[in-house]
Amino acid sequence: MHVAVVGSGYVGLVAGACLADLGHEVILVDNDPHKLKALKNGQTPIHENFLPELLSRHRGHRLNFSDDLHEAVRASSAIFIAVGTPPTDRGDADLSYVESVAREISSAISEYKIVVEKSTVPVYTSEWVRRIILRNGADPECFDVASNPEFLREGTAVTDFLYPDRIVVGCDTDRAAQVLRKIYEPLTSGSYYVQAGAIPQPDRTSIPAPIIVTTTKSAELIKHASNAFLAMKISFINAVATVCESVGADVNQVCHGIGTDNRIGPRFLNPGIGYGGSCFPKDVMAFRSVARECGYDFRLLDEVMRINEDQRDRFLRKVRSALWTLRGKRLGVLGLAFKGGTDDIRESPAILIVQALLQEGCKITAYDPAAMERTQEVMSSNLKYANSAYEAAAGSDALLILTEWEEFANLDLDRLHGDLKYPIIIDGRNLYDPEVMAASGFTYYSVGRAASHPDGVPTGALKNGNGVKKA
Ligand code: NAD
């Protein structure tokens, strides 16, 4: 099928490349000339596994890049809108980019097409998109608006798209549903998975992908409710971690104990420094705001957000309690991205913590396998960058782990011990076993577990124990 994807960011670029891999003819449209130039020149503007491979496979054949939205719409039967929906100051979603695309495409609709919301949008957006397209002169018989929310996670975006838990399509006409069924047929029939060169199947996925057809309003709500639920799961386990710290329990053991209950499941029970990224923070706020407009006071979501913010403050308090004063202290920081596997730093809790520590006068050297370039674009020049985890640690008063990159969970502990000025690690992602760290000579702080010390004695403790509180 001929398909246009408007917006070639984290979602649009991955969706476009994957739709081309499913056999469709895709035009990716963006209004950012730098991004388009990079894409046309063979660059991959975001860090995502398998994406460079798919782009080089289809670029110039089944996947083309353009700034001509009108022409792309004219040539396509389905137009996916994947532009940003950032939060406004009031917390609701800014839909001006979606509206601008809807306005622009109406004059190019001369035969039947479906306009598909791929961006995360509040309920009722499809009705507005339809209204805007009609207001700008399109024939009501010539188009349907559908919702096809995207559930991909940055870091595993390509495999999430191709091996989804489910595909949700919200359509109010059979005709629109048929078009979307046809687009996803290679995944729902399983024909994609046996084709030569298919991206390999990740663990814990089942094929073929089920498709769930709903009304457009239900599909819009499914996306907001899913993200709000996942954010709630993170805040829940972070609150449990706080209780664990107060009573001397181990949150990892608690997670194992509750996560093995099938009704709960182990995923997203990872205590840490809170959720971030371009989706959860804004989507929880937007869902809260939508509910309020509909007359429901969704206070549970306020608490989800409050716990999330507290989690960062708690981590900062932990750094203070480990180091006493902060002004002039040298800190090594591992991780800037909001999660492992991506270069995305939008609403990254790691960045927020680094900014707070810089403000308190710390000298920070950070390392991230993918996100340093993006960080350099937005952070003050006070922050120094290293070429490896060991370089970030070298000569530091303590090492902070802020992103769960796999390579940070497999460090050479002897080398790290030698590189640090004081062997103190404050781990916001629980990547290590406290006992192993103590046995390796570290004072180790994590989330929801008691701090561990070599020989049970805090590093740098005064001989009589004054002034140093054992956590
Ligand atoms: P992004 O900011 O990375 O990309 C948006 C792109 O749209 C940019 O390249 C921008 O230049 C382009 N754009 C804006 N206005 C345009 C216009 N009028 N014409 C053409 N191009 C235009 O955003 P993203 O992270 O890809 O997110 C897009 C949407 O998908 C959001 O609603 C987001 O909530 C949702 N979503 C994101 C993720 C994720 O992990 N990032 C996952 C699921 C859903």
As a whole number of angstroms, the distance between CA 301 and CA 303 comes to 5
For the chain, the domains span 2-214, 225-471
> Active-site residue numbers?
279
Q: Report the pLDDT value the prediction gives residue 364, as an integer from 0 to 100.
A: 98
On the question of a common fold for 2-214 and 225-471, the answer reads yes
Ligand 1, pocket-test mutation among 8, 11, 44, 121, most atoms within 8 A of CB: 11
Burial label, 331 (beta-carbon count in 10 A; 0-12, 13-18, 19+): buried
Q: Which atom of ligand 1 is nearest to the CA of 13?
A: 26
Q: Which atom of ligand 1 is nearest to the CA of 83?
A: 7
Taking the complete model, does pTM exceed 0.95, yes or no? no
Nearest CA to ligand 1 atom 25: 10
Residue 467 has what pLDDT? Answer: 30
Taking the chain (471 residues) in consecutive chunks of 10 residues, what is each chunk's mean pLDDT?
97 98 98 96 95 97 98 98 96 96 96 98 97 97 98 96 98 98 98 96 94 98 98 98 97 97 94 96 97 96 98 98 97 97 96 97 97 93 95 98 97 98 98 97 98 75 35 32
The fold for domain 225-471 equals Rossmann fold (3.40.50)
> From the alpha carbon of 151, which atom of ligand 1 is closest?
43
Please give the number of the atom of ligand 1 that sits closest to the Cα of 149: 44
Measured in Å, residue 11 CA sits from the centre of ligand 1 at 6
HEC profile of the chain: CEEEEECCCHHHHHHHHHHHHCCCEEEEECCCHHHHHHHHCCCCCCCCCCHHHHHHHHECCCEEEECCHHHHHHCCCEEEECCCCCECCCCCECCHHHHHHHHHHHHHCCCCEEEEECCCCCCCHHHHHHHHHHHCCCCHHHEEEEECCCCCCCCCHHHHHHCCCCEEEECCCHHHHHHHHHHCHHHHCCHHHHCCCCCCCCCCCCCCCCEEEECHHHHHHHHHHHHHHHHHHHHHHHHHHHHHHHHCCCHHHHHHHHHCCCCCCCCCCCCCCCCCCCCHHHHHHHHHHHHHHCCCCCHHHHHHHHHHHHHHHHHHHHHHHHHCCCCCCEEEEECCCCCCCCCCCCCCHHHHHHHHHHHCCCEEEEECCCCHHHHHHHCCCCCEECCCHHHHHCCCCEEEECCCCHHHHHCCHHHHHHHCCCCEEEECCCCCCHHHHHHCCCEEECCCCCCECHHHCCCCCCCCCCCCCCC
Mutate to test the pocket of ligand 1, among 150, 278, 342 (most ligand atoms within 8 A of CB): 278
CATH superfamily of 2-214: NAD(P)-binding Rossmann-like Domain (3.40.50.720)
* Distance between Cα 9 and ligand 1 center (Å): 5
Q: What is the pLDDT of residue 381?
A: 79
Mutate to test the pocket of ligand 1, among 8, 10, 13, 168 (most ligand atoms within 8 A of CB): 10
CB 446 within 8 A of CB 245: no
**Ligand 1 surroundings by CB, under 6 angstroms:** 6-12, 29-32, 35, 69, 82-85, 97, 100-101, 119-120, 150, 152, 154, 278-279
Cα 22 to ligand 1 centroid, rounded to whole Å: 21
Which pLDDT value is given to residue 302?
Answer: 98
Residue 458 is predicted with a pLDDT of 57
